[in-house]
Amino acid sequence: MNASDPICPLCGRPIPPGVPQSRHHLVPRLRGGKGGATVLLHHICHKEIHASLTETELAQSYNTIAALRDHPRLARFIRWVAKRPPDFTSRAKGNRRGR
């Protein structure tokens, strides 16, 4: 890790080179976000977003980092993952959207 590593806007941890990462469309592509704003996240953070929320929920109510951070399940996840090292990877916990 070094000071020039990008910071995951969801969890606030650095994203070192070689750590799984992905771009998240703030408005899902299938809900009008194609070509819209994206953010670089740890892959584990990105997976948790999509495990917690539907595409419609993301488009309508959770299309900013601030809104995502305020979601109860994501807030718990952020508190948990913030204690892990930046290169920590794991599968998203729980059923997809509580099914």
Domain that holds residue 78: 1-87
Q: Which of 93, 26, 19 is nearest to 65 (CA)?
A: 26
Q: Kindly state whether residue 94 falls inside one of the protein's structural domains.
A: no
pLDDT digits (tens, 9 = 90+) for 1-21: 677 899 999 999 999 999 999
Structural domain includes residue 52: yes
Q: For residue 79, what pLDDT band results from cuts at 50, 70 and 90?
A: very high
Note whether residue 92 is domain-resident.
no
Q: How many domains does the chain divide into?
A: 1
41 in any annotated domain:
yes
Inter-CA distances, 34 with 5, 55, 62, 92, Å: 27, 13, 16, 25
Any domain includes 98? no
The pTM of the full predicted model, rounded to 2 decimals, is 0.86
* Domain assignment present for 97: no
Tens of pLDDT, residues 27-75 = 998 888 888 999 999 999 999 999 999 999 999 999 999 999 999 999 9
In a domain, 95, yes or no: no
The pLDDT assigned to 98 comes to: 52
